Each structure stands twice: as structure tokens, then as C-alpha cells.
Amino acid sequence: MAFLVVIGILIIALVNGVIEVPTLLKQKQKKELWMFSILLLLAVGLGAAVTLHINLPNPFDTITAIYKPLNDYIFRLLQ
């Protein structure tokens, strides 16, 4: 059943691409076309991963890992 949902996601993305890409090509908006393509690919990948119940990392964990040493340093300075 999950594969049918993934196929549905792909079909919707394909229809969206067929509608948007010719307009962007006509208007010669290359940067917007690249950004649209990257974001659409990212959205399709994330949608498929969620549908297939693949564990995705939480972005907040990455932010915490980056800023925790800075936070600890500042707290040590203020004590």
C-alpha cells in the first residue's frame, strides 16, 4: 500500500513539473528553475521516506549539537 502512495507522490510531482517547468523556461528564469527542481526533488524524497516509515533525523538535534559547546562556554564565562 505504501508503494502506491509513493507512486501517487511521484505522479503529483510529475504533473507539477510539467505545469511549472515550461513557464520557467519561457521566462528564461534559470535560477528559479534550478531552485524549483531542487526543492521538488527534496520534497518528493522526504515524502517518500515518510510514507515508507524511514527514520529521518530531527534537524533540532543537529542544531543542538552545533550550539551546545558554545552554550556551555558562555555559561562557564558567566559563572
Per-residue pLDDT of the chain (79 residues; tens, 9 = 90+): 888 999 999 999 999 999 999 988 888 888 999 999 999 999 999 999 999 999 988 889 889 999 999 999 999 999 8
Number of domains in the chain: 1
**Domain membership of residue 42 as a residue range:** 2-78
What is the pTM assigned to this prediction?
A: 0.70
Task: Answer whether 47's CB lies under 8 Å from 2's CB.
Answer: no
pLDDT at 56: 86
As a whole number of angstroms, the distance between CA 3 and CA 12 comes to 14
